[in-house]
Amino acid sequence: MNFDQIVDRRATAAIKWDKYAGRDIIPMWVADMDFRCAPPIVEALAKRVEHGVFGYTDPPAELNQVVVAYLQATYGWEIEAEWLVWLPGLVSAINLVCRAIGEDGDDVVTAVPVYHPFLTGPVHQRRSVTRVPMRLLTGRWAWDVEALERFLTPRSKLLLVCNPHNPVGRVFTRPELSELARIALEHDLIVASDEIHCGLVLDRDKRHLPFATLSPEIAQRTITLMAPSKTFNLPGLSCAFAVVPNAIGTLPLRRVQPDATARTAVQPVETTQAGAPNEPTCRTGRAPLN
């Protein structure tokens, strides 16, 4: 990639730039880089465009095999091609998983601060959301495991993990993730792990650890969400995938994604009447969201 070439994206309908159009503001509010993609990506897209027909398509089998091989080579993680569900983005994926796991009024648990769709997604999908404030431990933000255990209820069904974490920037260690895994197993929680930043770990002494690779037991209860969009600067192409193990099965995700587009699944559901028994709520832990 050429990091020295300046690309003027104004007047190209770029959401990032249009937000503050005409104002003297450098738009650093979204992870969307102003560099041209790496040449092999541009060439592959150009080749596809040259074909000239853009009809409905299934994910090509070759694409699934590329992902299977990549996860094996990068993380030593063995998955089956059948475990992959292709989606238009991670925000869609978070919404789909919230809808697919548990019932209306069940509880989704996450740590705050966090990327905001972790908090809005559950509510849009008729779930409550419990926010566990993170703790600052020896200069680093970490999950407050004691608080997490305290906040769990019999209706807690889904643990939403951001790994690596946005916004605190942590690449969690194996012991930290293992503690979350222990709790998930003890409380029968499904884990959804947003790993969109897995390819952007810049510290040479840190390695991304997919949550699902912690143990065979945890692999069977973890839905991993990944995308090339951050690492390769492709967010506008709307391409992401979920890795869904056999024990959960891809059916719950496919059931709430009624046709080839998942867009329908991310629309906010109709608002429930105030006071209705299953009305989604947002329960905050000990500290307010930053």
Ligand X SMILES: Cc1ncc(COP(=O)(O)O)c(C=O)c1O
Chain positions contacting ligand X, by CB under 6 A: 31, 89-91, 115, 162, 166, 194, 196, 227, 229, 235, 240
Instruction: Closer to ligand X by CB, 144 or 194: give it.
Output: 194
CB of 185 to ligand X, least distance (A): 24
Instruction: Closer to ligand X by CB, 34 or 104: give it.
Output: 34
Instruction: Closer to ligand X by CB, 138 or 290: give it.
Output: 290
Instruction: Closer to ligand X by CB, 176 or 194: give it.
Output: 194
Residues in the chain, total? 290
CB of 63 to ligand X, least distance (A): 17
Instruction: Closer to ligand X by CB, 150 or 201: give it.
Output: 201
CB of 22 to ligand X, least distance (A): 24
Looking at residue 199, the DSSP 8-state letter turns out to be: G
Q: Which residue is nearest to ligand X (CB)?
A: 89
Other CB atoms within 10 A of residue 195 CB: 22
Do residues 229 and 89 touch, judged by C-beta distance below 8 A? yes
Alpha helices in 52-136 (DSSP H): 61-75, 90-100, 117-124
Distance CA 211, CA 160 (A): 11
**Percent helix, percent strand, percent coil in the chain, to nearest 5:** 35, 15, 50
φ, ψ at 150 (rounded to 5°):
-70, -35
Other CB atoms within 10 A of residue 117 CB: 20
Distance CA 162, CA 165 (A): 5
CB of 235 to ligand X, least distance (A): 5
Other CB atoms within 10 A of residue 135 CB: 15
φ, ψ at 145 (rounded to 5°):
-65, -35
Residue 188 CB burial class (10 angstroms; 0-12, 13-18, ≥19): exposed
The amino acid occupying position 242 is A
Other CB atoms within 10 A of residue 229 CB: 20
Tokens 């299934």 appear where?
58
CB of 136 to ligand X, least distance (A): 20
Instruction: Closer to ligand X by CB, 91 or 242: give it.
Output: 91
Instruction: Closer to ligand X by CB, 39 or 236: give it.
Output: 236
CB of 152 to ligand X, least distance (A): 23
CB of 226 to ligand X, least distance (A): 10
